[in-house]
Structure 1
């Protein structure tokens, strides 16, 4: 299973982000229902005992609920392609949760993430370098703001590889703050 942890975003925020979509040659927009804020990509996990260990470790993770705030848009360049993203202000609560997830995964034997955490929501992908149309889109939308969103849980997702757009399945939700007292069942226990 290809797994990652993320914060889900509200329908209202998905609508706001999808309103930024424009026809951009050579660019593929992700469907709004796939928008999320990745906390940590885990990778392929095939061992059932490892899946159970990850689930139990993430369920024990303690962190307070916090707010995330949109902070504009930007471009993340990668070799041969780029992504348009909605950037997120790196609040103390967000950075703390991401650090705790990273430490939890390392204790489970998952190698440390090589990239620095840059909170964002991927909106779509393009091939090659970001050209003038993309730069103009960023300039037109870089002051985009939205209401703060309260993160009350984080989610373990399974990612399916497809040829066109990403597909994600919720595996488990882990409550933050006072919600931790509610005792939700994890996906591993339902199987």
Structure 2
């Protein structure tokens, strides 16, 4: 079994800007800078025999490159005790379109679609019993958060191994975004 997810990597200069965001909140564990990414689909534990089919399905996705930035911060769940701090994506429509293509391609090989509403974001920190007033202060202090725009040119298939020191992510395949080959 492999623990798999599909994601868009965040450029190194943008990850550096976000280094440690939210980590100063009591009970917060900031996502390591090298693991900041935008998850398109989390597959979880998956039979390793499906890996060739998954790679083939993802390799057939056609989507042009697009530009986004990270903008605004928030938390999940939106009501109740916050457990995750996130940075939003702007504009989100291209990311959502790519995510929908991933869902469709994988559904065609028998992988169940995620029926939850997709909310394009980058997880900044995980929270455990963090004081609500400190989370609110973080949100207010970062209300104008916005990164430079960057171009998404690929998405990746990752495996994730859990260890005592946290998750270790390994790239299994890279899928470039390309313009359709339409004759004019």
TM over 0.5: yes
Task: Answer with 145-154 or 130-139: which moved more.
Answer: 130-139
* Inter-partner Cα distance in structure 2 for 1:19 and 1:44: 28
* Inter-partner Cα distance in structure 2 for 1:20 and 1:86: 10
1:129-144 correspondence to structure 2 within 5 Å: 131-144=132-145
Aligned residues: 179
Contact 1:86 1:121 in 2 (8 A): yes
The Cα RMSD (Å) is 2.1
* Structure 2 counterpart SS, 1:132: helix
User: Shift of residue 51 of structure 1?
Assistant: 1.0
User: Shift of residue 20 of structure 1?
Assistant: 3.4
User: Shift of residue 40 of structure 1?
Assistant: 0.7
1:37-186 correspondence to structure 2 within 5 Å: 37-48=38-49, 50-77=50-77, 82-128=83-129, 131-178=132-179
CA, structure 1 residues 129+115, in 2 after alignment: closer, same or farther (shift >3 Å)?
Answer: farther
Structure 2: gaps (5+ residues): none
User: Shift of residue 92 of structure 1?
Assistant: 3.0
* Structure 1 counterpart SS, 2:163: coil
User: Shift of residue 127 of structure 1?
Assistant: 1.5
For normalisation by structure 1, the TM-score amounts to 0.86
